Structure 1
Amino acid sequence: MAMPEYPTALGASSPDKITLLGHDLAQDVMGTVSFGELAFWLASQRRPTKGETRVFEAVLAALADHGFTPTAIVTRLTYLSAPDSVQGALAAGLLGGGSRFLGVTEDCGRFLHDVLRGVQLPLDEQGWDALALETVAAQRGARRLVPGLGHHVHKDGDPRTPRLFQIAREEDLFGPHLSLFEAIGRVHPRILGKTLPLNGAGVCGAALADLGLPLELLRGFALLARTAGLIGQLAEELHNPVANDIFLSVDLNNTSVPPDPHLDTGGSHG
């Protein structure tokens, strides 16, 4: 009876050799290919250019850590509760990557890609501004937010955004997603009546989309970057712990109140 075959262009092992992406892992990859370059290569199954690697690794750096975000706090608290489970602490932080933190990278990339469907390129700056005005107006009319617009801390401008714009331009990789995102930054005050920053997670999504990486994996790249940051959070927690203080600040300061009848969900009875 013939054994089934499971073809893969990724990793495969024999008794004396490991092959990765068609190359000898030990001889051709280890010590030669950077981790960022390899991550891009694995996801796209094509080796990135130096410029693509630079932009991609800039995105990873931008998303690695951003302070005591919920993902960092829950990682530290999970480690406090289960110090025997580093994997559990890291997983807890990564599971918090959603529509408010980290997930914006994918949301913005997908949003820009959807807007660009059917648009005749190239556009000049006036054309990008017109498209951006139409886009923001449509979102406001539908009472939907524009992904990547606004930040709870960097209200006067996210420092990651102009830097990533600069790097993409230097590498001639400033494509239509970044162009539309930049135009949204220019024109949105005309529609919204206020100026909001283009945030780092959003510009990362635009940059990744311009690199041609799968839209379905954009959140995965954000999580890849944040994994490094969460390892850093745990490393700091080992030497300068704060998780117990965070826990006690809640545990010792909670206040008992009567049950809230509004929390009754009206489920079935009897």
Structure 2
Amino acid sequence: MQHPSNGRPPRYPTSLGTSDASTITLLGHDLAGELMGQVGFGELALWLVTQRRPEPGEVRVFEAVLVALADHGFTPTAIAARLTYLSAPDSVQGALAAGLLGGGSRFLGVTEDCGAFLHEVVAGHAGRLPDDSDEEGWNALALETVRAARAGRRLVPGLGHPVHKVRDPRTPVLLRIAEENGHKGPHLRLFEAVGRVHPQVLGRTLPLNGAGVCGAALADLGLPVGLLRGFALLARAAGLLGHIAEEQRSPLGMDVYLSVDRNAEYVSPQHPTRQPTKE
């Protein structure tokens, strides 16, 4: 950017999009003539972030991740979106934003947390990683990783799920799609090995969380770990829009509100353990 003190107007460079009176340019291509109807939304989203057109295998893995993260039922994010729509039906954007704002460390955030955790290990062993076919080598690295996390009183992100106690059904499918498309890289291989060896350290067997596998898959696509939560939110936006549409067709936000309101019990701040008399 040039400073305005030189007499010229400031400049704000971007390699994404621009427009004039008759054309719209996106990523160096004519939007109407070269992209619309020829590029899928998932491909475009990946292209926008990486600034290069992804190859088909990358798109297939990326879109599988988006589908895996789109919706998971009545999670807090979905409830927040529905209740916000109940309160302000004139603000679809507010309801959608409310749901997205709820994507954090407990819901959706595991995608980024797991990807970042694995990336720290992978980057720290650059040049010394096992070969793809060396399962024992990956097991040894995973065992070292889990033991170090345990010693540091850190949780291993992506281990366990509040609903899928034995196996997250998304996990084997994502691993298979990544393998089929040549994008099962070190992050996925390490996380898969964590799934094999962690019982030796933790004394119990936990499933590999599908959202965590999504983070590993995105990291194997070379995407910045600091943006992984953004991709989870991109996926969940579709699910939240579905919840808002269903709320318009078959409202239940009022039932949720009334259920909480009618079953609330007031506890005096002076006697927090005393149960109030019900009328």
Establish whether TM, by shorter chain, passes 0.5.
yes
Deviation at 1:260, TM superposition (A): 6.5
Q: CA–CA distance in 2 between the matches of 1:13 and 1:5?
A: 16
Deviation at 1:6, TM superposition (A): 1.4
> Which residue does 1:136 correspond to in 2?
146
Deviation at 1:116, TM superposition (A): 1.2
Q: CA–CA distance in 1 between the matches of 2:13 and 2:130?
A: 39
Deviation at 1:261, TM superposition (A): 8.0
Find runs of 4+ consecutive structure 1 residues off by over 2 angstroms. none
Q: CA–CA distance in 1 between the matches of 2:124 and 2:227?
A: 23
Are residue 121 (structure 1) and residue 124 (structure 2) matched? no
Are residue 3 (structure 1) and residue 13 (structure 2) matched? no
> Which residue does 1:46 correspond to in 2?
52
Structure 1 residue corresponding to 2:94, chosen from 88, 92, 95? 88
Question: Any idea what the Cα deviations from partners look like across 1:76-107, whole Å, max 9, x if unmatched?
Answer: 00000011111111111101111111111011
> Which residue does 2:195 correspond to in 1?
185
Q: What code does the residue aligned with 2:186 have?
A: P
Are residue 62 (structure 1) and residue 72 (structure 2) matched? no
> Which residue does 2:259 correspond to in 1?
249
TM-score, normalization by structure 1: 0.95
Deviation at 1:8, TM superposition (A): 1.0
Q: Secondary structure at the match of 1:117?
A: helix
Q: What code does the residue aligned with 1:245 have?
A: D
> Which residue does 1:197 correspond to in 2?
207
Q: What code does the residue aligned with 1:50 have?
A: P
Q: CA–CA distance in 2 between the matches of 1:260 and 1:132?
A: 52
Q: CA–CA distance in 2 between the matches of 1:260 and 1:23?
A: 67
Are residue 232 (structure 1) and residue 250 (structure 2) matched? no
> Which residue does 1:165 correspond to in 2?
175
CA contact (8 A) 2:159 2:206 kept: yes
Q: Secondary structure at the match of 1:220?
A: helix
**Identity over aligned residues, as a percent?**
71
Q: CA–CA distance in 1 between the matches of 2:147 and 2:235?
A: 33
> Which residue does 1:146 correspond to in 2?
156
Q: CA–CA distance in 2 between the matches of 1:93 and 1:12?
A: 30
Give the unaligned 5+ runs of structure 2.
1-6, 273-279
CA contact (8 A) 2:130 2:138 kept: no
CA contact (8 A) 2:159 2:207 kept: yes
Q: CA–CA distance in 1 between the matches of 2:232 and 2:254?
A: 28
CA contact (8 A) 2:119 2:219 kept: yes
Are residue 214 (structure 1) and residue 220 (structure 2) matched? no
Q: CA–CA distance in 2 between the matches of 1:26 and 1:4?
A: 29
Question: Any idea what the Cα deviations from partners look like across 1:19-41, whole Å, max 9, x if unmatched?
Answer: 10000000001000000000000
Q: What code does the residue aligned with 1:54 have?
A: R
Deviation at 1:47, TM superposition (A): 0.5
Q: What code does the residue aligned with 1:133 have?
A: L
Q: CA–CA distance in 2 between the matches of 1:127 and 1:106?
A: 25
Q: CA–CA distance in 2 between the matches of 1:142 and 1:57?
A: 35
> Which residue does 2:23 correspond to in 1?
17
Distance 1:37 1:259, change over 3 A: same
Q: Secondary structure at the match of 1:196?
A: coil
> Which residue does 2:3 correspond to in 1?
none
Question: Any idea what the Cα deviations from partners look like across 1:37-94, whole Å, max 9, x if unmatched?
Answer: 0000000001100000000000000000000000000000000001111111111110
Deviation at 1:143, TM superposition (A): 1.7
Give the unaligned 5+ runs of structure 1.
263-270
CA RMSD of aligned residues (A): 1.1
Deviation at 1:129, TM superposition (A): 0.4
> Which residue does 1:98 correspond to in 2?
104
> Which residue does 2:116 correspond to in 1?
110
